[in-house]
Amino acid sequence: MTWRQIDPRSWRRAQLVTFLIAVVWGADYWFTPSGSSALLTTLEGAMPLPVWGSLLIGAGAAGFVAEIALGDEPLFPTAQRARWGWVTNAAHTILFGVYFALASSSLVDVITKDGDGGTYGWRTPALWFGFAWLNAQFVRRVKGNR
């Protein structure tokens, strides 16, 4: 497969970027002005926005700090990864769960829209499903499953 030809540090840098994206999206939830709830999915509106923001910021920041602390080693099993890699693994697992839940809720909202029949708005669930899938791939890599 072609991904095996990519420098392992490139995967790590991509992983760091996914953590930073989670922190930025979490901050967006924290600073969303009140009264903008008309744009939220059903699931997003079920919890206060700072809760969603805290989940994203917490997992993203914890994963980022753990990866920085682990150094610039590749994402392959080592003694140091066995000791501290669980933080990164947990962060990606939480991010997968949040993104998958948001994507599913967004998809349901797109399909069940009143009047339009779901002909627009597909980019948000597609993007969130993509980030959920990406985080699932990093969970597999951190655990050493190739």
Q: Which residues contact 144 (CB under 8 A, 6 or more apart)?
A: 76, 77
Instruction: Give the pLDDT confidence of 45-97 residue by residue, as tens digits.
Output: 888 888 999 999 999 999 999 888 877 665 555 666 667 778 888 999 999 99
For the entire predicted model, the pTM comes to 0.81
The helix (H) or strand (E) run that includes residue 38 is none
Which range has highest mean pLDDT (48-62, 104-118, 126-140)? Answer: 48-62
At 139 the pLDDT is: 80
Q: What is the mean pLDDT of residues 10-28?
A: 90
* pLDDT > 90: percent of the chain: 34
The phi and psi torsions of 113 (rounded to 5 degrees) equal -55, 140
DSSP structure string for 60-115: HHHHHHHHHHH-S--SS--HHHHHHHHHHHHHHHHHHHHHHHHHHHHHHHHHT-TT
At 94 the pLDDT is: 96
